[in-house]
Amino acid sequence: MSNKFSLRKVFSPETLFFLVVLVLAICLRIYRLNQLELFGDELDVGYQAYSLLKTRKDYRGNFLPVYLESFSESRAPFFIYSAIPFVAIFGLNEWGIRLTSAFWGILDIVFLYLLVRLIEKDKKVAMWAALIMTIIPWHLHYSRAGFEVTLLLFLILAGTYAFIKGLMKKTIWFSGAAICFALSFYTYNTANVFTSIWIIILLFVFRFELKTQLVRLVPALAIFILILIPFSFSIFRGPAVSRFKLISIFSDQKLIEQIILKRSADPQNLTERFFHNKLFVWSKVVLKNYLTAFSPQFLFFNGDPNPRHTVPGFGEIYIILLFFLLSGILVSLEKESKKPNIWLNWLLIAPIASALTVGGGEQATRLFLMVPPLVVLIAIGIEKISAKIKGIFLVIVIMILTYSLVGYFHELTKHYPQEQFRYWHFGYKEAINLVNENESICRNYFLNNSHEPILIRYLFWTGTDPNWFLNNFKDDKENQTTNGFSNFSLGNVFFGHLIEENRLEGVKRILAEPGNCYLAFQKDEIPGDWNIEKEPIRGIKVLGLVKAPGNKDPYIYLLGGLR
Amino acid sequence: MNLSIIIFILLFLMSPTPWTLLFNFSRLSKAEINFYKFNSPVFISEINFTRGQIKEAGIAIYGKIFINKFTYFMKDAGQRYLESFDSHFLFTQGDLSIEKSTRNSGPIYWIWLPFLGYGFYLCYKNRSKILVFVLLLPILGILIREEYETFSRLPFIIGMYYIVGLGVTEFFNKKKYYWTKALVLILLVFEYSRFLHYLLLHYPYLVGRY
């Protein structure tokens, strides 16, 4: 009888290669993870997870909510719930939040490998796919920040894997697929469109296999519907669609204004109504967004225009992989099979959800589900070419990939944090730490809320007890004025902004009262480039200063009065 | 005469680019051609800046091998080559110059997109030489300084019209899909009318004709 767990199988070249890829994936995803400051959404995830951990409520007081209520919007819950163990173990900091994404990112690679092996029945293509996904900027970037998309991708990959396994093996696999697909609706809004279409495609592609075993799908269908019941209530009550309403093209007033402007050229002319109307404009915008998702500029050269989503100067995929991508697409089209190609179908439907949103053509987060089919098509291309040109070709490919990765990773870890720190809302962590350190001096704190919402930053970096917060917080609308400072308050902390135009005078007036401290910003309350630490202002004492990375210019001051 | 040639000529006559260039013929005939400068100061300073950053990281030799005029030019050339296949250029906005594009559509109507894909597939399946020409022609776009420039890409655009024509011919030669064919014709007429409407009513205001 053969030993299933023989050493030869455990240490086969394939297994060793996969382990090397996994170790590389882990190292790339956790190295200097705390280098960049947490931005607003990450802080919100962290504090929500912390609140759920401590109180089983979100920080607005809803007990184990289906949709979490934040200060500005409702949030899909699953990623936040999955962050709870990481926050519990690593604490309320960069590691607690970002290790969640890194964890799901690593699982993405594992399940992509398994899925590709299952569908393509080719170990080499699976290994290449795992390696490519490990190193491409798109996946690497999002695995290193607190975005929900790595979890969404895991659920889609795992769900697809379980579905196909269910066709071959036990019915319980279908239930696993149902759970994964249903949970994707609770993870990120893109799933509302993508998962719905993807399930239909899977059922269509495998319709012949399912024809004789439809009854096996019944338990999975029941589980799917059961899990989605709370979600459907959220759709009707609003939280599940509130985010979409904010960003969809159908709510974009600029498009309506365009139509009005065009029609105003000749208002009496009926052809103006015929050619300039909502249907046409929306169709055009959706198509434009959809096609932009495939543009070389977005994929290979510039990426997402938002520096928080992409390292400037790099595309989402290394340009050198374009040739293999095209080869992979041609190979997939040439394949003689009665079944539609899974990866091409996936690639075609992935941008649809994003195309319905403003700027969705270049939004790397909403387009994240394009990653697996692109990676697999590249892997197919590499394998096809390396099968024809053996020997030195593999060495050249590895060298090129290494060069691309080293260049990108160097930029990501060395220059990007110094050049793009503003997009990561740099400065607030140190600023709030200054607030903590000066508790013995300051009785009241006035925190400038006009740049980024500072309340969530205050709660996170002070580790405010969620129970205390729930009992003491009333509203985040500026409903009072204190010494010319429009604000809302929490205990002895006032969050708001100065009403008068001469903000420096406003600061002086607030600090004239003993025990008051003010968190001020360069180029706002402190005009121009005036460094008041070196050139002090009468009546104001600099209790602490946050300097910008790189050039070390003053950025945020904690100011106190001289009395 | 070959049906695909007839359709190609019809498509060419209906497409936005010839009409827009004709509309602005008097201005464009006086326009200067700006060729790509291989020794532009911006180029050189970018290379020096990046090499400086790499030198600070202590791997100066990496900078000398991988950051030089050749690699920068190759990256820039690759980018310009791929501009020709950018959906903004081909379908939605066209040339950045208002005199070579209405900025309301590219050289190819979006309704032609499925036929473009089908035409490419047919060319690949039949190993047609036209595919090689269409893939080589965007190289001309690299020689001009302006990005997304139309004149240097005219041979490429005409090649694309031919491929669309192939796709359209093959589709309309099929004996079924009557309703789809009718719908395609209606959409084609709509797109052409929309373009003409924009060219004659709105575009003149954009180029300051009035």
Structure tokens at B7: 């359709």
Rounded-to-integer distance, Cα A359 and Cα A366, Å: 10
What CA–CA distances, in Å, run from B175 to A61, A480, B163? 65, 75, 21
| Residue B207 within a domain | no
Among A206, A239, A272, the domain boundary falls at A239
| Residue B136 within a domain | yes
The answer to whether the complex's ipTM is over 0.95 is no
pLDDT tens-digit readout, A61-99: 999 999 899 998 888 999 999 999 999 999 999 999 999
Kindly list the residues from chain A whose CB atom is less than 8 angstroms away from the CB atom of residue B91. Answer: 287-288, 291
Instruction: Give the domain extent around A443.
Output: 427-561
| Residue B190 within a domain | yes
| Mean pLDDT, range A45-66, rounded to an integer | 95
| Residue B58 within a domain | yes
Beta-carbon pairs below 8 A across chains A and B = 55
| Residue A23 within a domain | no
pLDDT of residue A1: 44
| Mean pLDDT, range A298-304, rounded to an integer | 94
| Residue A543 within a domain | yes
Instruction: Give the domain extent around B150.
Output: 3-24+33-201
CA torsion sign for A57, A60, A62, A65 is negative
What CA–CA distances, in Å, run from A16 to A13, A28, A105, B62? 5, 18, 20, 30
Cross-chain CB nearest to B57 (options A262, A288, A414): A414
| Mean pLDDT, range A479-490, rounded to an integer | 89
pLDDT tens-digit readout, B151-206: 899 999 999 999 999 999 999 888 888 888 899 889 888 889 999 988 988 888 88
| Residue A486 within a domain | yes
**What is the number of structural domains in chain A?**
2
Cross-chain CB nearest to B86 (options A297, A322, A403): A297
Kindly list the residues from chain B whose CB atom is less than 8 angstroms away from the CB atom of residue A266. Answer: 201
The β-bridge partners of A68 are A75
Cross-chain CB nearest to A296 (options B86, B92, B194): B86
Among A179, A206, A239, the domain boundary falls at A239
| Residue A192 within a domain | yes
Residue closest to A538 by CA, chosen among A557, A517, A561, A506: A561
| Residue A362 within a domain | no
Structure tokens at A232: 């459907």
Chain A, nearest residue to B198 by Cα: A275
| Mean pLDDT, range A507-516, rounded to an integer | 91
Strand runs (DSSP E) across A105-257, as ranges?
none
Q: What are the residues of chain B with a beta carbon less than 8 Å away from any beta carbon of chain A?
A: 53, 57, 66, 75, 78-79, 82-83, 85-88, 91-92, 110, 113, 121, 124, 193-194, 197-198, 201-202, 205
| Residue B99 within a domain | yes
Contact (CB, 8 A) for B103 and B93:
yes
Among A193, A217, A239, the domain boundary falls at A239
| Mean pLDDT, range B68-83, rounded to an integer | 87
Contact (CB, 8 A) for A167 and A348:
no
**What is the number of structural domains in chain B?**
1
Structure tokens at A5: 């767990």
Q: Is residue B142 over pLDDT 50?
A: yes
User: Is B202 within 8 Å of A271 when comparing Cβ atoms?
Assistant: no
Kindly list the residues from chain A whose CB atom is less than 8 angstroms away from the CB atom of residue B104. Answer: none
Interface test with B, best of A288, A320, A408 (most B CBs within 10 A): A288
Cross-chain CB nearest to A330 (options B66, B124, B205): B124
Q: What are the residues of chain A with a beta carbon less than 8 Å away from any beta carbon of chain B?
A: 262, 265-266, 271, 275, 280, 284, 287-288, 291-292, 294-297, 300-301, 319, 322, 330, 333, 403, 407, 410, 414-415
pLDDT of residue B32: 76
User: Which has more confidence, A188 or A483?
Assistant: A188
Structure tokens at B118: 């089908």
| Residue B206 within a domain | no
Strand runs (DSSP E) across A335-466, as ranges?
444-448
Kindly list the residues from chain B whose CB atom is less than 8 angstroms away from the CB atom of residue A296. Answer: 79, 82-83, 85-86
What CA–CA distances, in Å, run from B101 to A476, B95, B156, B175, B205? 49, 5, 16, 37, 14
Q: Is residue A442 over pLDDT 80?
A: yes
Contact (CB, 8 A) for B156 and B84:
yes
Kindly list the residues from chain B whose CB atom is less than 8 angstroms away from the CB atom of residue A414. Answer: 53, 57
Rounded-to-integer distance, Cα A331 and Cα B156, Å: 25
| Residue A472 within a domain | yes
Which is it for strands A493-498 and A444-448: parallel, antiparallel or unpaired? parallel
Residue A5: pLDDT band (50, 70, 90) is low
| Mean pLDDT, range A500-525, rounded to an integer | 90
pLDDT of residue A59: 94
| Residue A545 within a domain | yes
Give how far B30 is from chain A: nearest CA, Å: 30
Cross-chain CB nearest to B86 (options A280, A295, A319): A295
| Residue B182 within a domain | yes
Q: Is residue B56 over pLDDT 80?
A: no
pLDDT of residue A48: 97
Phi, psi (5° rounding) for residue A475?
-160, 150
| Residue B208 within a domain | no
